[in-house]
Structure 1
Amino acid sequence: MDKIRINNLKFYTKNGVLKEERVLGQQLELDVELELSLAAAGKSDDVNDTINYAAVNDLIAQRVATSSFNLMEGLLAAIFDDLAKQYSTQLHAATLRVRKYSVPMPGLFDNIEVEMQRRFDQ
């Protein structure tokens, strides 16, 4: 299966379980991997025969800007719902990864990452 990847989208959000996270906010990084057939786009060289990754970026940015979740899992589930609504006929599967850096817990670490996968062609 062919893939389109968008790596390290950066967003400032006010998501989190703790009140401080929702008041102060934090930066999230998000990776998107879309699985679909790119054969038609490869032959036609026409953006209408693929999933426009600029439109995917806008869809995700809109979701992040207008929603607030306790869990990163909730944010990713909402993005999957948005992708399914917009691209259900083209998209076979998707993988989303989100990294959170300012996690209020003890210990030394770079970030917390959540990865979720969904199939859309079942």
Structure 2
Amino acid sequence: MGKIRINNLKYFTKNGVLKEERVLGQQIEIDVELSLDLTAAGKSDDVADTVSYAEINDLIAKRVTTSSYNLMEGLAAAILDDIQKDFGNRLTSVLLRIRKYSVPMPGLFDNIEIEMERAFK
């Protein structure tokens, strides 16, 4: 088994429950961890034997920039659906983290993070 990770993908979005979030927007960061068998790719040195992280990046960017959600959980589930649809036959699981900054709530904190994981096999 092996893992491919893409860390700290950054996007400016207009997601959120509150009107201010949808008007002003905020930065989010996304980490994705793909679990899969990398044995064949290690031997062949061929991208056809793995999952292209460039394609995963494009898939996530498309979802984040063309859709809007009240909840980060909704965005995470949609990204997991997209990954499962296009790459689920090659993956055993995906772990996704989304961090949201500039959250309009009282208190001192860096960000809010949600984590969702989905197994495919």
| Range of TM-score over shorter length | over 0.9
Percent of aligned pairs sharing the same letter:
72
What amino acid maps onto 2:13 in structure 1? T
The normalised TM-score by structure 2 is 0.99
1:73 match: 73
- Runs (4+) of structure 1 exceeding 2 A deviation are none
1:50 match: 50
1:4 match: 4
Distance 1:13 1:77 in 2: 16
Q: What does residue range 93-104 of structure 1 map to in structure 2 within 5 Å?
A: 93-104=93-104
2:113 match: 113
Distance 2:99 2:56 in 1: 18
Q: Tell me, what secondary structure is at the counterpart of 1:90?
A: coil
CA apart distance, 1:67: 0.5
Structure 2 gap segments, 5+ residues each: none
What does the per-residue CA deviation read over 1:79-119, in whole Å, with 9 as the maximum and x for residues that have no partner?
A: 00000100121010010000011100000001000011110
RMSD: 0.5
Q: Tell me, what secondary structure is at the counterpart of 1:70?
A: coil
Q: Tell me, what secondary structure is at the counterpart of 1:73?
A: helix
The number of residue pairs the alignment matches comes to 121
What does the per-residue CA deviation read over 1:13-70, in whole Å, with 9 as the maximum and x for residues that have no partner?
A: 0000001101111110000000000001000000111000000000000000110000
Q: Tell me, what secondary structure is at the counterpart of 1:61?
A: helix
The normalised TM-score by structure 1 is 0.98
Q: Tell me, what secondary structure is at the counterpart of 1:12?
A: strand
1:40 match: 40
Q: Tell me, what secondary structure is at the counterpart of 1:69?
A: coil
Distance 2:73 2:7 in 1: 18
Structure 1 gap segments, 5+ residues each: none
